A and B are shown apart, each in its own frame.
Chain A
Amino acid sequence: MSITVLHEPRVTEQEQRDFRWLMDHLPDLTVRYPDKWVAVCNEEVAATAAGGEEASRLARQVKGADSRPVIHFVEGGAYVY
């Protein structure tokens, strides 16, 4: 067993809300931002970019340096991995 339970730092409530918002809006995002990385912060798309960290950096510029956007790659079709 190589799993270690870490009680700190926990995932913030805002990160959890942003993840849920992202999952609830995936169908719409698939249409609007195919094959883009999106950064979701405060339950909205704060930035899109060609790379995930780039999207995160742009989102922090908009939402504040201390914000922790959730980063997601929007698949534009049925990719087989």
Chain B
Amino acid sequence: MSIRVPLTVRSLPNPRMAGVGGNTSIMRVNLGVAFAMPDGRPTPTWTASLDPGAPFSLLPRQLWELCAGSVRGQTTIRGIVRSPEGELPVQVGDVTCLLTAETGDRLALPILSYLAYTDEVPVLLGYQGILTEFGLRIDAEQGAGFLEVVRGS
């Protein structure tokens, strides 16, 4: 039995590269995601970008304050800027991610996530716990894709 989670692929305008020729649009792979709160109810739906280049998922403060389970520790994460000014301090904690299958069922996955101290970050779904469980198919031309897991009958 195959379970699929629909993905949306969108091409977005890139005003910061307006003077550059060619196709400078920004491609993003998005999905709706919720997280289990301590009483088991789901948070509202937040959109997330699927980021296979991110080792772990990342949640802004106002989201993980609703749903975080145990916090394992703290660390800092860096992007393309390696200097200390580019570091983002985060906590590392366990959350239960709720993806929406194409059937409308929710799929609960416990994942280890970076928990930012700021709201100035988007919701990113990274590799660990997501792409370790699902296969990924993206068709940019169709503007769609899916995560897929095949389970035994």
Q: Which residues of A contact B (CB under 8 A)?
A: 1-7, 9-11, 15-16, 18-19, 22-23, 26-27, 30-31, 34, 37, 50-54, 56, 68-73, 75-81
- B124 at interface by CB-CB < 8 Å: yes
The reply to whether A5 and B46 form a contact with Cβ atoms under 8 Å apart is no
Beta-carbon contact of A37 and B32 below 8 Å = no
Residues of chain A within 8 A of B58, CB atoms compared? 81
Within the complex, what minimum Cβ distance (angstroms) separates B12 from chain A? 5
Question: Does B38 reach chain A (CB closer than 8 Å)?
Answer: no
Mark B residues whose CB is within 8 Å of A: 3, 8, 10-17, 24, 26, 28, 30, 32, 34, 41-42, 44-47, 49, 51, 53-54, 58, 60-63, 65-66, 79-80, 98, 100-101, 104-110, 119-120, 122-124, 129, 133, 149, 151
A19 to B14, CA, bound (A): 22
A11:B45 contact, CB within 8 angstroms? yes
| Chain A residues within 8 Å of B123, by CB | 52, 73
Q: Which chain A residue lies CB-closest to B54?
A: A81
Q: How far is the CA of A23 from the CA of B48 in the complex (A)?
A: 11
| Known pairs A19-B32, A52-B119, A80-B80; A10 contacts B108 (CB<8 A) | no
With contacts A5-B107, A80-B80 known, is A68 near B12, CB below 8 A?
no
**A26 interface neighbour in B12, B16, B151, Cβ under 8 Å:** B12
A69 to B105, CA, bound (A): 19
The 11 sampled A-B contact pairs (Cβ below 8 Å) are: A1-B149, A16-B32, A26-B10, A27-B11, A27-B13, A30-B12, A50-B119, A54-B119, A69-B44, A77-B15, A81-B54
Chain A residues whose CB sits within 8 angstroms of the CB of B109 once the complex forms: 2-4
- B15: A residues at CB distance < 8 A: 30-31, 34, 76-77
* A44 CA to B105 CA, complexed, in Å: 25
| Smallest CB separation, B148 vs chain A (Å) | 11
Could you tell me the distance in whole angstroms from the C-beta of B106 to the nearest C-beta in chain A?
4
Q: Are A3 and B133 in contact (CB under 8 A)?
A: yes
CA distance A78 to B80 in the complex (A): 13
